[in-house]
Amino acid sequence: MRLLGPARRPGPVVRGLRRLVDLRLWLKLGLGGGVLLLVLLPMLADLANAALKRVEGADGACRILRVIDGDTVTLMCPGDGMQSARILGYDTPEKFSPQCLAELVAAERASWALRTLIQKAGRLAVVREGVDRYGRLLVRLELDGLDVARAMIRAGHARQYSGRLRGSWC
């Protein structure tokens, strides 16, 4: 009869159960899933828009491949390839260099508002108006014949902008 002896290690089932009730595991899964959604969801929405929506223009039919932020998109046009395009007439909060958390949240809302407007539009048209100092195309985007700048400003996601100093979003 053995009264005292070396302690037995728990079996694989017990170790697995302990792992399942560990709060750290659930926190890691939740954070990982949240980050994955923040990356994948916009990408999937942009892919759906690119596949389903053709943008008419003087240079043929382009596609909006990606909404970078509320006033910048990536266009794919025949003959020109992929190009970053700044939509004229309005300014939205900065997504990649926000000055405060409120600006980052507003920038994300503006990006989703633009995606939604593009998705709901029946007819998209782009008019090129030059190139900015960063090498982006400067374009006017029309959705169902209406300037997208007016829709974004009216919805409260943007401010009118004509190239002067921009105000703070904080």
pLDDT in tens, 69-118: 999 999 988 888 899 999 999 999 998 888 999 999 999 999 999 999 99
Q: How confident is the model at residue 143 (pLDDT cuts 50, 70, 90)?
A: very high
> How much is the pLDDT for 45?
83
Q: What is the mean pLDDT of the chain?
A: 85
The predicted pLDDT at position 3 comes to 59
CATH numbers and ranges of domains, the chain: 12-160 (2.40.50.90)
How open is the CA angle 153-159-164, to the nearest 5 degrees?
Answer: 145
How far apart are alpha carbons 43 and 41 in whole angstroms? Answer: 5
Q: What is the pLDDT of residue 157?
A: 94
pLDDT at 134: 87
Q: How many other CB atoms sit within 10 Å of the CB of residue 70? A: 27
> Is the pLDDT confidence value at 12 over 60?
yes
CA–CA separation, 107 and 95 (whole Å): 5
Residue 93 pLDDT = 94
Average pLDDT over residues 117-129: 91
Give pLDDT tens digits for 60-71.
Answer: 688 899 999 999
